């Protein structure tokens, strides 16, 4: 349902100018692999415009001239703006990669060695440096139970308990 909602939002928002500025963070606890799996979805044009503030190189996420440089830029941007705690312990986000899907960029991370989790805390300000009206929607899923939270800039903290 989350993916279909995001796809609907993507299609509804992308006209000549999209009036909402929204990013979505999905966190899923994979009990089998003992890991948190994260995907961060950001509108391509918003993300490119934001990343341009942090580099002198051309930023084209749809057709990057240097994929490893794009990976490094994306990873650095997100890990400096997204912190996850599992049961009160800070985690390290391990970058998996990114891809373009429709009008958005999907960035993937993993947090290994999370056997079980009862509480997830998220601190984020993704794209707050781009748009004052930015909204971060966070979905967290543990043991099949999904919870969601909306953060309107400047709010940057959400906690989920199971």
pLDDT digits (tens, 9 = 90+) for 62-111: 999 999 999 999 999 999 999 999 999 999 999 999 999 989 999 999 99
Supply angle C-alpha 95, 116, 82, rounded to 5.
35
pTM above 0.85, yes or no: yes
Of 38, 32, 27, residue with least CA distance to 115? 32
SS3 46: helix
10 pLDDT above the threshold of 80: no
pLDDT band for position 15 (cuts 50, 70, 90): very low
Give the pLDDT of residue 9. 53
Q: Residue 157 has which token pair?
A: 């903290």
Is the distance from CB of 17 to CB of 133 less than 8 angstroms? no
Give the Å distances, CA to CA, from 14 to 11, 20, 87, 88, 150: 6, 9, 38, 38, 21
φ, ψ dihedrals at 58, nearest 5°:
-65, 135
Of 1, 2, 25, residue with least CA distance to 105? 25
* Digit-coded pLDDT (tens) for 112-140: 999 999 999 999 999 999 999 999 999 99
Q: Which residue has the higher pLDDT, 29 or 14?
A: 29
């Amino acid at each position: 349902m989350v993916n279909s909602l995001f796809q609907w939002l993507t299609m509804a928002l992308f006209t000549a100018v999209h009036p909402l500025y929204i990013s979505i963070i999905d966190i899923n606890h994979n009990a089998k692999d003992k890991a948190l799996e994260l995907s961060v979805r950001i509108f391509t044009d918003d993300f490119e415009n934001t990343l341009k503030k942090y580099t002198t190189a051309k930023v084209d996420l749809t057709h990057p001239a240097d994929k490893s440089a794009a990976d490094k830029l994306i990873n650095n941007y997100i890990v400096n703006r997204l912190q996850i705690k599992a049961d009160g312990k800070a985690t390290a986000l391990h970058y998996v990669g990114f891809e373009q899907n429709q009008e958005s960029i999907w960035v993937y991370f993993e947090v290994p060695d999370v056997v079980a989790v009862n509480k997830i805390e998220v601190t984020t300000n993704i794209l707050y440096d781009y748009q004052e009206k930015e909204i971060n929607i966070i979905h967290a899923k543990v043991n099949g139970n999904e919870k969601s939270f909306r953060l309107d800039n400047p709010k940057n903290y959400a906690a989920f308990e199971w």
